[in-house]
Amino acid sequence: MRYRHLSTAALALGVVVLTDVLRVFLPSVITIFGQAATTPAELLGAFALGWFVLALAFPPLVRRLGARPVTLAAAVALGGARLALTAAPGGRTQLWLATAGLLAGLLWLAGTAATIGRPVPGLALGIALGAVGHAVLGTYDLVWRGGPVGWAGSVALVAVFLAATAGPARPAEPGGARAWLLAGPALLLTGLVALSPAVAATAASYWRGPGGGLSWPPEPGDVATLPAWAVGIFLLAALGRPPRGRWRLAGPLALVAGAVLFATGDPGLLGPAVVLTAAGTGACLALAGGAPTVVAPPAAAGPPSATVPPSAAASPAVGAPAAPSPGRDPGRASRPGLAAVLGMLLFAVAAVGYYAAYDLGYPNAAVPVAMAALVAAVALGGPRRATSAPPRRWVPGIAAAGGLVVLAATGLPAGVPVPSRPGTPPAAVRVVAYNIRMGYGLDGRFDPDGLARVVARERPDVVVLGEVDRGWLLNGGHDTLALLAARLRMPYVFAPAADPLWGDAVLSRFPVAAARSERLAPAGAPTGAQALGVTVDVGGGARLAVVATHLQPPPGREPVAQARAVAGFALRYAAGLPLVVAGDLNTEPGAPGYAEFTRVGLVDALAAARPLPTSPADEPREQIDHVLVSAGVRPAGPVAPRSTASDHLPVAVTLALP
């Protein structure tokens, strides 16, 4: 039994390490290989998918060299790449280290699949452990943090993983190919929605928002409760004994229903989607893991036995290929490794296909639904009698422990202080507008602390943010807005643009009196655009209307239609109040798109500092980030402080209200 426990622990820890590497590899493809959106989306997808296709050569390599030595070598390479990424290399070094770690992780997975015939406990525990750690760290993972805390946690994780992998080898137990095939799809569905703390926190933020599809900071209990339920339900479903008869359909149906709710893009349905997808993914893993393990036939003499005791099994020597069990051909023994790699290829195809839609412009709602249907079909295609579930006494304890850890997590970015209304209005309001590129700097590192420092130096009263990511798996699953709001100690109002997890936000140290968002007609950029109007109460009966937007022009053209729509919305929303329109407008002063704002009487608040280029951040040439104000608002001190915390520079200006 100790071999089974050790191999389960090694698999679970390896899944955590591989997930950490994926959370660096995927955004590095976008921010480093993508070169700030200048690389065609087709080339990005080919680069990302190519490495997963290359891994199809790994199962034959495992069969030729032997699972044990390959698994050990791949584990060392995976752990080394994971630690090297903690050193914060950034740039192309980071990209290639993450790529090497990905290949090592896929090779480790193929080798592990050749020896573990019942992978569901290890896979489920690894997925849940990764989600719990992500939640406890407030979605700001150790791999990005560095420093004493980041290094201590990273070294401990890798050391325990390698120790478990190097432990006594268990007898070869190939099998469970269908469960291994679902490893990649399960990682996708849990990272996309089911066990993503950022998605759950965003769902909770919509519960307490001002309505109309807007959100603002939830209560701390809301942030922790939903992930805790999701982790607990997932573990109960995955590690418990799956039901029989017609009840076998419950889990697959729940999974498909959760994926459908997520695909609708309705912010109010995010919470139910999280719970249903968590329950369904766990249940489908349990059903797929029910395949009986292939074992050697019992000896002719002696009592019959379904398994061979570890002490009676001859462990293969390190460096020698594992001999196939009697009665089993080597090709059949290699199927679990091939299934594991194919599953990860499915992960990559679905992830790239889903998120590439925001660049290429095709509907992507079918992607999570199709993946859920595939998982359900594979799970239901197995035997009706499950044999892979651990003893029942494990299940409630593990599920409860996972949920309690999340509930007790203090790292989740919540509890932003409620602003107080000043007795008299301030003499001036400091406004900062910043396109934050999902929290990634020019070096490709995720650094919310660096972003917060840049903004905080301007001592802002109101902050307008663009390209706000609140849980996209492609970008590492971070709730960038909650992380920044907690560091700046400013509540926010968030408006979705592309989907409920991507859009624009306004942060304010003054109370928010009202908010409204209006979708803009698409103009060639599928990430979508909207105009968010927020009314802030600056005290003494005075109010200021702030409109945040990020215009998306057609390729090679000006965003004239969207600019006209935003200008009209802003004037209607302000209804005579002092007005600020800010954000990445993707148009320069004097251009046709920009003229739509000045045509309605808005004034360039940054004019005194022009030329004031803001993009790209390292060598700014374009003046595309703007602050415009209504007549009577007097701007002063406009700046664009230099920083590489994003691919844009922020712009800041002090506004004296009439």
CATH of the domain at 194: 1.20.1250
- C-alpha–C-alpha distance, residues 195 and 146, integer Å: 24
**CA distances, 169 to each of 177, 180, 298, 322, 382 (Å):** 20, 20, 21, 11, 28
Position 318 pLDDT exceeds 60? no
Helices (H), 264-418: 270-288, 330-333, 335-360, 366-380, 394-407
Domain end marker among 407, 442, 462: 407
Instruction: Specify the pLDDT at position 405.
Output: 64
Residue 300 lies in a domain: no
557 CB-near residues (< 8 Å, 6+ apart) = 524
The two structure tokens encoding residue 419: 């602003």
> What pLDDT digit, counting tens, does each position of 409-452 carry?
545 565 566 676 666 778 899 999 999 999 999 999 999 999 99
Q: What is the pLDDT averaged over residues 177-181? A: 94
Are 382 and 437 contained in the same domain?
A: no
Edge-to-edge strand list for the sheet holding 625-629? 512-519, 530-539, 542-550, 579-584, 625-629, 603-604
CB 289 within 8 Å of CB 276: no
Q: Letter for the amino acid at 243? A: P
Q: What is the pLDDT averaged over residues 300-319? A: 40
Domain end marker among 338, 372, 407: 407
- C-alpha–C-alpha distance, residues 407 and 180, integer Å: 30
CB 549 within 8 Å of CB 557: no
Residue 209 or residue 473, greater confidence: 473
Cis peptide before 616 (omega within 30 of 0): yes
Are 348 and 436 contained in the same domain?
A: no
The two structure tokens encoding residue 221: 């209990």
Query: Residue 594 class from Cβ within 10 Å (0-12 exposed, 13-18 middle, 19+ buried)?
Result: buried
Instruction: Specify the pLDDT at position 418.
Output: 67
Residue 323 lies in a domain: no
Determine the Cα angle at 504 with ends 503 and 510, to 5°: 145
Residue 446 lies in a domain: yes
**Half-sphere CA count of 77, side-chain side, radius 13 A:** 19
Residue 527 pLDDT level (bands cut at 50, 70, 90): confident
Query: Which is nearest to 353 in space by CA: 372, 367, 340, 339?
Result: 367
Are 433 and 289 contained in the same domain?
A: no
Are 452 and 402 contained in the same domain?
A: no
Q: 162-185: string of b/e by CB count within 10 Å (b at 16+)?
A: bebbeeebbbbbbbbbbbbbbbbb
- 314 secondary structure, DSSP code: P
236 CB-near residues (< 8 Å, 6+ apart) = 282, 395, 396, 399
Q: 6-40: string of b/e by CB count within 10 Å (b at 16+)?
A: bbbbbbbbbbbbbbbbbbbbbbbbbbbbbebeeee
Angle between helices 250-263 and 270-288 (to 10 degrees): 140
Number of Cβ within 10 Å of residue 389's Cβ equals 19
Please state the separation of Cα 494 from the chain's center in Å: 18
- C-alpha–C-alpha distance, residues 175 and 264, integer Å: 37
- C-alpha–C-alpha distance, residues 366 and 379, integer Å: 20
> What pLDDT digit, counting tens, does each position of 59-97 carry?
999 999 999 999 999 999 999 999 999 998 899 999 999
Instruction: Specify the pLDDT at position 172.
Output: 63
SS3 412: coil
Residue 415 lies in a domain: no
Number of Cβ within 10 Å of residue 611's Cβ equals 11
SS3 469: strand
Query: Which is nearest to 104 in space by CA: 59, 145, 71?
Result: 71
Long-range interactions of 154-157: CB distance < 8 A, separation 24+:
154/82, 154/83, 154/86, 155/83, 157/13, 157/16, 157/17, 157/20, 157/82
Are 169 and 204 contained in the same domain?
A: yes
Does pTM surpass 0.75? yes
Are 475 and 622 contained in the same domain?
A: yes
Residue 418 lies in a domain: no
- 168 secondary structure, DSSP code: P
CB 271 within 8 Å of CB 203: yes
CB 255 within 8 Å of CB 280: yes
Instruction: Specify the pLDDT at position 426.
Output: 86
Interstrand relation of 429-435 and 651-656 (parallel, antiparallel or unpaired)? antiparallel
The two structure tokens encoding residue 507: 């942060």
Number of domains, the chain: 2
- 86 secondary structure, DSSP code: H
> What pLDDT digit, counting tens, does each position of 192-236 carry?
999 999 999 899 899 877 778 898 887 766 667 888 889 989 998
- C-alpha–C-alpha distance, residues 316 and 115, integer Å: 11
CATH (domain of 575): 3.60.10.10
Residue 413 lies in a domain: no
Residue 422 lies in a domain: no
Are 372 and 441 contained in the same domain?
A: no
Give the mean pLDDT of the chain: 87
Position 1 pLDDT exceeds 50? no
**Do you know the residue count of the chain?**
658
How many percent of the chain have pLDDT more than 70? 84
Residue found by looking up tokens 């006494």 in the block: 393
Strand partners, 499: 502
Q: From start to end of 540-623, where are the E strands?
A: 542-550, 579-584, 603-604
Position 308 pLDDT exceeds 70? no
Position 35 pLDDT exceeds 80? no
Q: 84-95: string of b/e by CB count within 10 Å (b at 16+)?
A: bbbebbbeebbb
Residue 613 or residue 318, greater confidence: 613
Q: Which domain holds residue 370?
A: 2-295+330-407
Position 144 pLDDT exceeds 90? yes
* Helix or strand run (H / E) with residue 495: strand 492-499
Q: Letter for the amino acid at 443? A: D
Residue 455 pLDDT level (bands cut at 50, 70, 90): very high
Are 453 and 345 contained in the same domain?
A: no
Are 370 and 472 contained in the same domain?
A: no
Residue 319 lies in a domain: no
Are 480 and 339 contained in the same domain?
A: no
Are 348 and 437 contained in the same domain?
A: no
Position 332 pLDDT exceeds 80? no
Q: What is the pLDDT averaged over residues 234-259? A: 92
Are 173 and 242 contained in the same domain?
A: yes
CB 625 within 8 Å of CB 650: yes
The two structure tokens encoding residue 469: 């990511």
Position 315 pLDDT exceeds 60? no
